Amino acid sequence: AAMELQPSHGLASRAATLATAYLCYRRGSPGRALALRSIRRARREDIDDVGHKYHLELVLEDVPDKDSTINCTAEVLYHLGSKNVAPDVQFTLEGELKNTDEADDVFYNQIRSLEKELVAENIPDSHGNVPPEMEPIRRLAWVASGYVIWQNSTENTKFHLAQIKRVKQMKRSDEYLEFDYTILLHEMVSQEIIPWQMTVLWHPHHGVQVTRDSRQPKHTLE
């Protein structure tokens, strides 16, 4: 039985945020992050012995180009009971995403030609500033955090990436770029700020991978 939800409803918003995070992880890169612009339609289906499934029609924004939007339909299935199983997300994009090969290549070459491994903190800083050269690093964190958010979401959570506390590039002997991030996730329902470590691997024309991630103790902040 599927029930129509107001697009403004909190439950629709949570499912949409999760779907966007997952999508961003699957399609993002240092040259592209996807963000939720609006929810056009939302329906919720209770499936006996399985869980709750949300059918969503979303409008997404192709960050950094805010004027570039793309429609998307998504289905989010939150499994009954189990805390350890990530929700299932399926999506279909209507149309093509902009090609970011050039921007990705530029970023890749920039990092490869650094004398010393990149290290940075507090992106954005307290005042919301992001140095322009850090924008791809930030988008990469966004994309990777999509994985962490997806793996840790339930019907009672709504996560956003609040800040990158620290990022450190790791030396590699192969062609991949590897970054060790400590990020802060903001969970809206509990209002908690949760530090999270993630090891992120990337190469142009390959997707973003999170090879290791772990929740960090809260006092890491104070």
Q: Which residues bind other proteins (CB under 8 A)?
A: 6, 8-10, 13, 17, 35-36, 38, 63, 115-116, 124-129, 160-163, 184, 186, 188-193, 218, 221-222
Return phi, psi of residue 110, to 5°: -60, -45
Nearer to other proteins, 36 or 89 (CB): 36
Whole-number Cα distances in Å, 146 to 9, 17, 222? 22, 10, 25
Contacts of 22 (CB under 8 A, 6+ apart): 89, 91, 146, 149, 150
Smallest gap from residue 65 Cβ to other proteins (A): 13
Nearer to other proteins, 149 or 201 (CB): 149
Nearer to other proteins, 71 or 209 (CB): 71
Smallest gap from residue 212 Cβ to other proteins (A): 24
Q: Output 195-198 pairs: Cβ under 8 A, ≥24 positions apart.
A: 195/165, 195/220, 195/221, 196/145, 196/148, 198/144, 198/145, 198/147, 198/148
Smallest gap from residue 144 Cβ to other proteins (A): 16
What is the side-by-side strand order in the sheet with 159-170? 119-123, 159-170, 177-187, 192-202, 209-215
Nearer to other proteins, 48 or 222 (CB): 222
Candidates 108, 99, 124; CA nearest to 178 is: 108
Contacts of 116 (CB under 8 A, 6+ apart): none
Nearer to other proteins, 6 or 211 (CB): 6
Smallest gap from residue 193 Cβ to other proteins (A): 4
Smallest gap from residue 166 Cβ to other proteins (A): 14
Q: How do beta strands 51-63 and 65-79 pair?
A: antiparallel
Nearer to other proteins, 195 or 204 (CB): 195
Smallest gap from residue 145 Cβ to other proteins (A): 11
Q: What stretches of 43-134 show up as alpha helix (H) in DSSP?
A: 101-112
Q: How far apart, in whole angstroms, are the C-alpha atoms of residue 144 and residue 198?
A: 8
